[in-house]
């Protein structure tokens, strides 16, 4: 499962896991009641995150390994990256 940083039409942002950007958008909209920014034919305002962030809307709960901990403490800065850009990750 991948983690995405989503921007909503009300100006707020939050992370959500999903199989794709679109899947994360559907989950986020269903659970929050908000609309993810981006119209029917526009790009979804979703950027990948290296790890889930604190306050993630939905986390996949793997039956063998459980949920991935919220390792990303600067999701707005890390949005669009697939690896942590810090010299030392936020977990150290």
CB 52 within 8 A of CB 3: yes
17-68 pLDDT tens trace: 999 999 999 999 999 999 998 755 556 678 999 989 989 999 999 999 999 8
Spatial CA neighbour of 13 closest among 50, 55, 43 = 55
28 lies in some domain: yes
32 lies in some domain: yes
54 lies in some domain: yes
92 lies in some domain: no
Question: What gap in Å lies between CA 49 and CA 15, rounded to an integer?
Answer: 8
85 lies in some domain: no
* pTM of the predicted model as reported, rounded to 2 decimal places: 0.85
Which residues contact residue 46 at a Cβ distance below 8 angstroms, ignoring those fewer than 6 apart?
4, 5, 6, 7, 21, 24, 25, 36
83 lies in some domain: no
Total of domains in the chain: 1
Structural domain containing residue 68: 2-78
57 lies in some domain: yes
């Amino acid at each position: 499962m991948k983690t995405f940083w989503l921007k909503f039409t009300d100006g707020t942002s939050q992370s959500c896991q999903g199989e794709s950007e679109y899947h994360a958008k559907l989950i986020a909209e269903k659970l929050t009641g908000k609309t993810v920014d981006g119209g029917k034919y526009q790009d979804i305002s979703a950027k990948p995150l290296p790890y889930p962030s604190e306050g993630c809307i939905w986390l996949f709960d793997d039956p063998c390994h459980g949920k991935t901990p919220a390792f990303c403490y600067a999701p707005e800065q890390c949005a669009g990256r697939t690896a942590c850009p810090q010299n030392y990750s936020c977990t150290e």
